[in-house]
Amino acid sequence: MLIVGASGSIGRLAVDEALREGFETRALVRDRNQSLLFPEGTRVVVGDFTRPDSLTEALEGVTGVVFTHGTYGGAEEAERVNYGAVRNVLNALKKPARIALMTTIGVTKPTPGHDWKRRGERLVRASGLPYTIVRPGWFDYNESDQHRFVMMQGDTRWASDPSDGVIARRQIAEVLIGSLSSDAAEHKTLELVAEKGGAQSDLTPLFAALKTDPVQSFDAVLDRDNLPIAGEPARVVSDLDAVRGRF
């Protein structure tokens, strides 16, 4: 399994969770010195997700990819990171792999950053790979007794503040890694928050209760239709055409 964005606050926790679950785990980093961030047993691979030619070693033989990267920069940076990382990894994959992609709650609310995350989601759906897309709420705003997982769909919370929902970083990592080995999570997109109560030990019933994304749809089930393909930049349409049904 490869963790993209491994040196970030979610990525490091995803590495920990993957190792705890017994996965052979690779951490993608740009600087070999970042190997000190990870526990023993992590295979650190050097590469830059903005440069597809640097990803060959990282992706060789992988059966799962977990995307935890992200930026809050402007439109150009959002395209390069939020979208470009997904495009480049998918294009560099030689064999099918299970995908877990983290974006954000409110991703369908039009903003430059959100739109590029949403386009990254579309690439994953178009690829034909098995996937789970997780849209977490606000990180670590939980109260001490607020850890019960809640999974929603339709992306209806657009306040752009913690009233949209909160979730612990470690819980996000748990759901991302847990989705990779759950048939019930396949081809599903969800918003993830926590409410009062303890965390459930078994995520399968939560995944199973979700609706599956429509076959051959670029968007998630119940999402509003407010980013029409007909209005998309030509380079985005070309990327979708290149990846669609590739696996």
Q: Which domain holds residue 202?
A: 2-243
Give which of 126, 101, 81 is closest to 189, Cα–Cα: 101
User: In 10 A of CB 216, how many CB atoms?
Assistant: 10
pLDDT value at residue 247: 86
User: Could you give the number of structural domains in the chain?
Assistant: 1
CA distances from 44 to 14, 17, 62 (A): 14, 16, 14
pLDDT value at residue 29: 95
Q: From first to last of its 247 residues, what are the pLDDT tens digits of the chain?
A: 999 999 999 999 999 999 999 999 999 999 988 999 999 999 999 999 999 999 999 999 999 999 999 998 899 999 999 999 999 999 999 999 999 999 999 999 999 999 999 999 999 999 999 999 999 999 999 999 999 999 999 999 999 999 999 999 999 999 999 999 999 999 999 999 999 999 999 999 999 999 999 998 999 999 999 999 999 999 999 999 999 988 8
Quick check: 195 and 147 in contact, CB under 8 A? no
| The token pair that represents 30 in the structure block | 């740009």
**DSSP assignment letter at 230:** G
Q: What is the CATH number of the domain that holds 138?
A: 3.40.50.720
pLDDT value at residue 219: 97
Task: Give every CB contact of residue 90 below 8 A, 6+ residues apart in sequence.
Answer: 123, 124, 127, 129, 243, 246
pLDDT value at residue 246: 82
pLDDT value at residue 185: 98
pLDDT value at residue 73: 85
Q: How far apart are CA 240 and CA 170, in angstroms?
A: 32
